[in-house]
Structure 1
Amino acid sequence: MKHLQLNNKWVLVTGASSGLGQEMARQLAHLHKANLIIAARRADNLNQLKAELEKYAGIQVKVIVADLSIPEEADRVIAESIAGNNLYAAILNAGVTYFGRHTELAWDNFESILKTNVIGVVRMTNSLVKYFDEPGTEGGLMLVSSMAGFFPVPYQAAYSATKAFITAFGNALHNELTNPAFSITVFAPGGIATEMTDNSKFNELKGWLMPVSVAAKEGIHALITRKYSYVPGLLNRIGNVFMNFLPSKFIGGKMSKVYLKSLTKAQQ
């Protein structure tokens, strides 16, 4: 399968108002000369990014303000993105987390995590597969998961579970595709230095966080080269392989101590 060619092609990036999504949008425009459809809740951030990206010669940017925890809004993002029948690739990056004891997570907050990280992603993926796979349209789709989906992370139980779903869902669906010109990639980074992790709860973990520019570059590489499942960072990849040989209970116990230490220090 040939690599994706993004030059002058339209690429959708969700969760583009900050963090990984914002940085991927920047690199797609600057390094790959792609036209961008950027979607997220914060209109001000999206419009600032649009103004920044359109400084690159020839780049076009469309803004879609939407709350992807609302199924109808997720549907609208895809409908507007494919309306011109020229969407070439999509990066479903929007996601939210909760760092703390699961018993302290309010039910409405849990539902919001589930709707954003799972239901919205599945609804958008369903529509995109119909758009690309059934008519044989060339393109690529990348679902942003996490290494937390490979190994359950204590004190991020809900987030970890949603990412495990996305990993399994994306990998399974990849093998259902009938169009050889269309691919689904699951991108599973470890921790990234973004707005999501920029708070005191993560202070003891920040030495593990990957710079967002590096994660974005590797994510775009995974999309372009149509990886099946991709973990960025050599040490992360080595660790991912190594941990498969260890009992999951042992890994969870070690992670629990590290995460609880960081959480406890933040609460002091």
Structure 2
Amino acid sequence: MNNLRLNNKWVLVTGASSGLGQEMARQLATIHKANLIIAARRADKLEQLKADLEKAAGVQVKVVVADLSTTEGADHVVAESLATGELYGAILNAGVTYFGRHSKLEWTQFEAILKTNVIGVVRMTNALVKHFEESKQEGGLMLVSSMSGFFPVPYQTAYSATKAFINAFGNALHNELTNPNFSITVFAPGGIATEMTHGDEFGELRGWLMPVKQAAKEGIHAFVSRKFNYIPGLMNRVGKVFMNFLPSRFIGSKMSKVYLKSLLKFEQK
């Protein structure tokens, strides 16, 4: 299967108002010269990004304001993206986390994590896959997951569980595709230095976080080259291979100590 050719093609990026989504949108526009459909809840952030990219990269940018924790929001983004029939690719990046003791996670907050990270992603994926399967158009879809979906992270218990679902869902669905010109990639980074990980509770963990520009660059590489599963960062990839040979209980215990140390420092402030 040939690599995706993004020049002057329309690509959807969700969660584009900040962090990894925003940086991927910037690189897609400035380096790959892709036209963008950028989606998130914060209209002001999206409009500023649109203005920046149209001026700096000379591409077209369409803003879609939507809450992707709702089926209405997910459907709205897909409808706007497919309206012209020119959508070439999509990066479903929007996601939320919770770092803390699972016993203190409110049910409404858990539902928001589940709806954004799983239900919204599946809702959009179903519609996008149907479009590309029926039209037989060339294109690609990338689901942004996490290494925590492979190795569950204590104190990010609910988040890890949602990402484990996305890993399994994306990899399995990839093997059901019938359109030889369409691909699904699962991108599973470790921690990234973004707005999501800027809180004080992540203080002890910041040394482990990958710069967002590097993560975005590797994510777009995975997308363009149609990787099945891709983890950015050589040490992360080596670490995953190494951890496959260790008991999962042992890994969880070690990670628990590291994350709890950071959480306790935050709680003591």
- Name 2:169's counterpart in structure 1: 169
1:234 aligns with 2:234: yes
Q: Does 1:31 align with 2:31?
A: yes
Root-mean-square deviation over aligned CA pairs: 0.6
The aligned residue for residue 73 of structure 2 is 73
CA distance in 1, matches of 2:154, 2:133: 37
The aligned counterpart of 1:3 is: 3
> CA distance change for structure 1 residues 141 and 175 in 2, over 3 Å: closer, same or farther?
same
- Give, in angstroms, the shift of residue 186 of structure 1: 0.1
SS in 2 for 1:165: helix
Distance (Å, rounded) in 2 between the aligned partners of 1:221 and 1:208: 22
Question: Who is 2:60 aligned against?
Answer: 60
> Is the partner of 2:135 in helix, strand or coil?
coil
Query: 3-state SS of the aligned residue for 1:184?
Result: strand
> Are positions 1:134 and 2:134 aligned together?
yes
Aligned to 2:247: 247
TM superposition shift of 1:57? 4.6
Structure 1: state its 5+ residue gaps. Answer: none
Q: Which residue matches 1:187?
A: 187
User: C-alpha separation between the residues in 1 aligned to 2:217 and 2:177?
Assistant: 26
2:150 match: 150
Q: Contact 2:37/2:81 (CA < 8 Å) preserved in 1?
A: yes
Q: Which moved more, 1:131-140 or 1:87-96?
A: 131-140
The normalised TM-score by structure 2 is 0.99
- Contiguous gaps of at least 5 residues in structure 2: none
Give the aligned partner of residue 267 of structure 2. 267
Once the two structures are superposed, what CA deviation does each residue of 1:186-233 show, in whole Å capped at 9, x if it has no partner?
Answer: 000000000000111011000000000000000000000000000000
Cα deviation, 1:226-252, whole Å, max 9, x if unaligned, reads: 000000000000001000000000000
Q: How many residues align?
A: 268
Partner-residue secondary structure (3-state), 1:32? coil
Correspondence for 2:91:
91
Q: Give distance in 1, aligned partners of 2:230 and 2:43.
A: 31
The answer to whether the 8 Å contact 1:152/1:160 transfers is yes
Give me the whole-angstrom Cα distance separating, in 2, the residues matched to 1:173 and 1:107.
29
Deviation for aligned residue 1:267: 1.1
Q: What code does the residue aligned with 1:110 have?
A: F
1:75-112 Cα offsets, whole Å, 9 max, x none, are: 11001100000000000000000000111000000000
Is the partner of 2:148 in helix, strand or coil?
helix
Q: CA offsets per residue over residues 12-57 of structure 1, 9 Å max, x none?
A: 0000000000000000000000000000000110011001000135
Deviations 1:134-193 (A, max 9, x none): 221100000000000001110000000000000000000000000110000000000000
1:219 maps to amino acid? G
Aligned to 1:82: 82
Tell me if structure 2 keeps the 8 A contact 1:134–1:178.
no
